[in-house]
Structure 1
Amino acid sequence: MLEQKNIGPKSAQWFSDHPMLMEKAASRKSSRLLRSTPFRLALAFGLLFILAFLVAGIITYQLLKRDLAEALDDSVRETYSVVASTYSPADIEDLVAAVAAYARLNNAEDSIFLLSGEKGKRLAGNVSPFAAEDGLSTIEAGDIGQKGDDRIRILAGTVGGNRLIVGESFAETEDLEHIALMSFGWATGGIVILACGGGAFLAARAQRRLDGIERAMSDVSAGDLARRIPLEGNGDDIDVVSTHMNQALDRLSALVEGMRQVSADIAHDLKTPLNRLKMTVEQAIEQGGRGEDVQTLLIDAREESDRINATFEALLRISQIEAGARKARFRPVDISDIMASVAEIYGGVAEDSGQSLDFTTRPASPCMVNGDRELLTQLFVNLVENAINHCPPMTRITLALRAEDDGFSASVSDDGPGIPEAERELVFRRLYRLDKSRTTSGSGLGLSLVKAIADLHAAHITLADRHPGLGITLDFPAQYQG
């Protein structure tokens, strides 16, 4: 499919010089719209709406037609009763006068009046005598010698031995029916245009948004992991799905970037220990060839190998945590109990380093979250060990916990040297270390593991300067409250 987005002057001129290509692109776009699910749904709902309107219109028209017919019958009966009421026994003159008066006042094409004697002689009226059955019936205008093809509704009966016929033309009723039918026809045409036009507009709008999703996913599959699906901001179902897809793309982008970063960091950080291991093994081979003792070198090689294995095991564990494999072990866990246990165990370690470790906030009620107790314990252990290892003597390390309306907030803080602001986000990267010379112990995976565990438990982690020192805060959502 050809698209004309971001077309410059030269490209626009090229397209204008090739109208067949532009027509072909427009045809493909139109064909794609006709095959699209939004258009088909809009067409289906439009047809259902038109069908419902037609059914309702037909029913309404039939009811109107019946009511008009009943109204005409009522009018004929009422006129007949009024005329017949002028008759009195042995005095037919009033009846003749009434029929004659009605005949003069009404056109025979609209209303007919006829009073005949016993032998069929017309006594009064505006039409010639004709035969008709008693009661209501319908006749054609030609049946009584009138021009045209109008129908007439008549009521015939005997009054004082004389034949009285009263009738009204269907012309007015049929005119009303014709007006109603024409109005219904025009309304149907308008509804069809509105349904088709509105359906096409809505389908095109939905298809445009689906095309945006398709282009974004196509760019992502082509390697552009920074591409995101555009949002309308109206909160509809497509926006909700697009938001979740963007979140998934954010997650995918972070994982891919993490893999790239890990690959580079592994190549950089493990190159030195592997070289050391190689040199130690080569030295052991040389000394062994001269008959010298190589026990010390073998021990060094084993320790170096253990450190390398520990690094890979930590990386593997972080990957497993990020994949969510441990969520099956989630249970209600008391955060305050975990923090109290870590503070008690590492209190002596901190004292041996000339530091102090306190758990200052102990809520009266348990602070429960749904999580993995082992991993949460590892999280706080890593934070405390990190503070102990990187802070000088006389440093005060504090664990704190407070309950909030929407969850719990746990923090580990110290008054040590802290972390430079420019590197606070970088410390969560795998194998990243503030000590660029790598002279201190550690693999640079402690805070990476903390971040992975926090993400697994939907906890938001922040680093802040305490002037002096560093404060690490974890905000846990209220996933479970006991």
Structure 2
Amino acid sequence: MLRARLHRSTPFRLALAFGLLFILGFLISGLITYQYLKRELMGSLDTSVTEMYAVTTSNYAPNDMEDLVAAIEAYGKHPTSDERVFSLVDPSGRRIAGNATVPLLPDGLASITAQEIGLPINTTFRVFSGSIGENHLTVGRSLSETDDFEDIALFSFAWVAVLTIAFAAVGGVLLAHRAQRRLDGVVETMVDISNGRMQARIPLSGRRDDIDLLSIQINDALERLSRLVESMRQVSADIAHDLKTPLNRLKMTIQDAMSRNEQGEPIEDLLADALGESDQINATFEALLRISQIEAGGRKARFRPVDLLDLMTEIVEVYADVAEDNGQSLTFAAPPAGTWLVSGDRELLTQLFVNLIENAINHCQPDTRINLSLTAAESILIATVRDTGPGIPEAERAKVFRRLYRLDKSRSTPGSGLGLSLVRAIADLHGADITLADNERGLMVSLSLARAKPVAQ
């Protein structure tokens, strides 16, 4: 099998899509964070500049400029004066004090470059201007510290973005490769199944994730398919084996009838035998067809709430006389009246219990006691059919549900070997568990069905 190329695989494309979405989300959130940080830094700088202006103007008294000029000159000679601007100019724009000559600006906050105020550095200042008497005072701080902090933040963000993209790409490829490897296991298993290797199953990782749950469902379906294929193969072999004898008998009967007819002898008894053989063969095929129809699940559309107590009571009333005529006894240990509902097809459930009772009547000796019971356990109902007959050997119990399978001791009795196959098909259709066990002396067949909720009137 040719493996799908990784870059064309669905897991890789999903990993790539989620990686791109993650990176896009990271970039957008990073950009928003950067803009917010920049705004906060500018707000902090504006607050600092405004406070500087307030502190500087606190040295001014009306008609007394000496203290203010002295303070501005002192501030201008501070070691960090290249990062700060102090400018006091008269109405004509001539500098009175400070370390720069700032042109007349509107009152309030503004931004101005170092070249505009005659400073030999390449930076921008955030300044606050206001009138001091007839003069104009401007103080400010450089944006260099803010720019440096923004550069550091932007550089760090860029490195984080690069590492995030790298981790997302590598992680996406690894995750896609692992998921693709598991999907390849699914594909390989299906190819094996299509090539006839019905025992192939999808390997499980044991993590119980979504792929494991899907694989479990597929494996269950493959198991059912394998059983069905094996059942069909077994049915074909059983049909060829079991119908060969009645067909040969039918052929010999017809040949005897033709020979008698040529000799002028009566042939009515031979024709009756031939008709009986053909009816038996036709009944076998009808039973096989009925089992196939039940296994197809089409009858589920007819499911309704069925009172199991009422159904079993009716069946026992009908077959009690049949068992008595055969020298046997049929009884029903009926539970107390109440709600004994299951969801199912009443006709098929009737067929199931009829087959079990007829099986006990036909294959058990006289004086056999056949007893039916019905009990409840939590959310299930358990119907049991017991007899005191010869029972079924434990090694044969799994085989008796196969189509056309008959025990050696039962081959002398009438039947086609399809009764219990029909019982299993009906039980499977209703999601019921059916088990065979010893009844001390005889056989016990137990059927467990899910209890149905009462239907509102």
Report the TM range for the smaller structure's normalisation.
over 0.9
Q: CA 1:403–1:437 in structure 2 vs 1: closer, same or farther (change >3 Å)?
A: closer
Aligned counterpart, 2:36: 63
What is the CA-CA distance between 1:54 and the residue it aligns to?
Answer: 1.4
CA offsets, 1:137-186, max 9 Å, x none?
22222333333311112223331323322110000111111122112212
Runs of 5+ unmatched residues, structure 2: none
Q: CA, structure 1 residues 281+141, in 2 after alignment: closer, same or farther (shift >3 Å)?
A: same
CA distance in 2, matches of 1:429, 1:119: 116
Residue 421 of structure 2 corresponds to 448
Q: CA deviation at 1:32?
A: 1.3
Q: Which residue of 2 aligns with 1:324?
A: 297
Is residue 134 of structure 1 aligned with residue 106 of structure 2? yes
In the other structure, the counterpart of 1:5 is: none
> Partner residue of 1:168?
141
Partner of 1:9: none
Find the aligned partners of 1:230 and 1:480 in 2 and give their Cα distance: 39
Q: Does 1:304 align with 2:277?
A: yes
Structure-to-structure mapping, 1:320-469, within 5 angstroms: 320-435=293-408, 438-469=411-442
Instruction: State the alpha-carbon separation in 2 of the partners of residues 43 and 108 from structure 1.
Output: 53
How far apart are the structure 1 equivalents of 2:372 and 2:409?
Answer: 29
Residue by residue, what CA displacement relative to the aligned partner does 1:77-101 show, whole Å, maximum 9, x if unpaired? 1101110121001222211222122
Counterparts of 2:247 and 2:112 in 1: how far apart (Å)?
A: 114
Give the C-alpha shift of residue 432 in structure 1: 0.5
TM-score (norm: length of structure 1) = 0.90
* Structure 1 residue 370 displacement after superposition: 1.4
d(CA) in 2 for partners of 1:69, 1:361: 89
Q: 2: CA distance between counterparts of 1:355 and 1:438?
A: 21
- What is the 5 A alignment of 1:64-103? 64-103=37-76
User: Is contact 1:369–1:481 with CA below 8 Å preserved after alignment?
Assistant: no
For residue 325 of structure 1, what is the amino acid of its counterpart? G
Q: 2 CA distance for matches of 1:360 and 1:436?
A: 30
Cα distance in 1 for partners of 2:329, 2:206 equals: 51
Residue 182 of structure 1 corresponds to 155
Q: State whether residues 463 and 470 of structure 1, in contact with CA within 8 Å, keep that contact through their aligned partners in structure 2.
A: yes
SS of 1:364 mapped into structure 2: coil
Shift of 1:435: 2.0
Take 1:148 and 1:105, find their aligned partners in 2: how far apart are those partners?
A: 17
Structure 1 residues 107, 366: closer, same or farther in 2, change over 3 A? closer
Aligned equivalents of 2:454, 2:227: Cα separation in 1:
31
* Code of the aligned partner of 2:105: E
Give SS of 2:81's match: coil
2:175 alignment partner AA: L
Give the Å deviation of 1:122: 4.1
State the 1:106 CA deviation: 4.3
Per the TM alignment, residue 468 of structure 1 is displaced from its structure 2 partner at its CA by 1.5
Change (3 A) 1:106 1:116: farther
- Distance in 2, matches of 1:428 and 1:94, equals 115
Q: Which amino acid aligns with 2:56?
A: V
1:433 shift after superposition: 0.6
CA distance in 1, matches of 2:102, 2:389: 122
CA, structure 1 residues 434+140, in 2 after alignment: closer, same or farther (shift >3 Å)? Answer: same
Counterpart check, 1:53 vs 2:26: yes
Query: Which shifted more, 151-160 or 422-431?
Result: 151-160
Mapped to 2, the partners of 1:455 and 1:439 lie a distance apart of 29
Please report the TM-score for the alignment, with normalisation by the length of structure 2. Answer: 0.95
Aligned CA-pair RMSD: 1.8
- 2:64 & 2:104 partners in 1: Cα distance? 25
- 1:211 is aligned to 184
Q: Tell me how far apart the structure 2 counterparts of residues 411 and 448 of structure 1 sit (CA, whole Å).
A: 18
Alpha-carbon distance in structure 1 between the residues aligned to 2:431 and 2:192:
29
Query: Identity of counterpart residues, as a percentage?
Result: 59
Corresponding residue to 1:197 among 147, 166, 170: 170
Structure 2 partner of 1:11: none
Which residue of 1 is the match for residue 253 of structure 2? Answer: 280
Q: Which residue of 2 aligns with 1:144?
A: 117
The one-letter amino acid of 1:113's match is F
Q: Secondary structure at the match of 1:358?
A: strand
Q: Is the 8 A contact 2:75 2:81 kept in 1?
A: no
Residue 363 of structure 2 contacts residue 413 of structure 2 at CA under 8 Å; is this kept in 1? no
Q: In the alignment, which residue of structure 2 is the partner of 1:26?
A: none
